[in-house]
C-alpha cells in the first residue's frame, strides 16, 4: 500500500494561539493503536484542553480525545488515554531545561499526517494574561482597519 505524500491536517487547537504566547515549535510522532489511526483518518480528534508533559525523560500527550472507531470491536481504544510522543533525546533534554527554568508549558497546536505518519506539532508556550489577550485583539483589529483603508485607496486610484 503506497504512503500518501504531503501533509494533511487532522485537528487544530485554535485556542492555543489565543491563550498562549508561542515561543518555539517541535514536531513529534505518536505511538498509536490501530483503531486510533483509523479514527484519525476519519478526522475524529480534538485537541481542546490537551497538553504534553515530560515524565521520566519521555514525552507524553495528555487529554487528547480520539473518538472510538465506529467499526471497531472489543479491541477499540480508550478515547482519552495518555499517548507517548516520539522525539529525539536532544529535543526532550532541551524541553526539560526550558520548562524547568521558566513558567512554560507544552501545548499541541495541530495533529496531522505527514507522509502517512501521524504527527503532532507541539509548542513551547507561556500563558497569556487577560490584558495581553486584549492587546493582541486590539492590534489585530487596528491592522485589519489599516489594510481595509489601504485597500480602498489602491482600488480608488
pLDDT digits (tens, 9 = 90+) for 114-128: 988 999 999 999 888
Note the pLDDT of residue 4: 53
Rounded to an integer, what distance in angstroms lies between the CA atom of residue 147 and that of residue 152? 9
**Average pLDDT over the chain, rounded to an integer:** 87
Average pLDDT over residues 17-40: 89
What is the b/e burial string over 33-44, where b = at least 16 CB atoms within 10 angstroms of the residue's CB?
bebbbbbbeeeb
Contact 59, 95 (CB under 8 A): yes
pLDDT at position 1: 41
pLDDT for 6 equals: 75
User: Which residues fall within 8 angstroms of residue 122, CB to CB, at 6 or more apart?
Assistant: 25, 26, 27, 28, 52, 59, 85, 106, 107, 108, 109
> Looking at the predicted structure, is the pLDDT value of residue 17 above 50?
yes
pLDDT tens, position by position, 68-109: 877 766 677 777 889 999 999 999 999 999 998 888 999 999
For residues 25-50, average pLDDT = 89
Q: pTM value? A: 0.78
Alpha-carbon dihedral 22, 65, 78, 112, rounded to 10 degrees: -70
Residue 34 pLDDT exceeds 90: no
Rounded percentage of the chain residues whose pLDDT exceeds 70: 92
Q: Residue 156 pLDDT more than 70?
A: no
Residues in the chain, how many?
157
What's the pLDDT score for residue 68? 83
Amino acid at each position: 500500500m503506497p504512503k500518501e505524500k504531503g501533509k494533511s491536517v487532522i485537528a487544530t487547537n485554535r485556542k492555543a494561539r489565543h491563550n498562549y504566547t508561542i515561543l518555539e515549535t517541535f514536531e513529534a510522532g505518536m505511538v498509536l493503536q490501530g483503531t486510533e489511526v483509523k479514527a484519525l483518518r476519519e478526522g475524529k480528534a480534538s485537541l481542546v484542553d490537551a497538553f504534553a508533559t515530560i515524565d521520566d525523560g519521555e514525552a507524553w500527550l495528555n487529554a487528547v480525545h480520539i473518538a472510538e472507531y465506529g467499526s471497531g470491536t472489543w479491541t477499540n481504544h480508550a478515547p482519552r488515554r495518555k499517548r507517548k510522543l516520539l522525539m529525539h533525546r536532544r529535543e526532550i533534554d532541551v524541553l526539560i531545561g526550558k520548562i524547568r527554568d521558566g513558567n512554560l508549558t507544552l501545548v499541541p497546536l495541530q495533529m496531522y499526517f505527514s507522509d502517512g505518519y501521524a504527527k503532532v506539532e507541539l509548542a513551547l508556550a507561556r500563558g497569556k494574561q487577560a490584558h495581553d489577550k486584549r492587546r493582541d485583539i486590539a492590534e489585530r483589529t487596528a491592522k485589519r482597519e489599516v489594510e481595509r483603508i489601504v485597500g480602498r485607496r489602491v482600488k480608488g486610484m
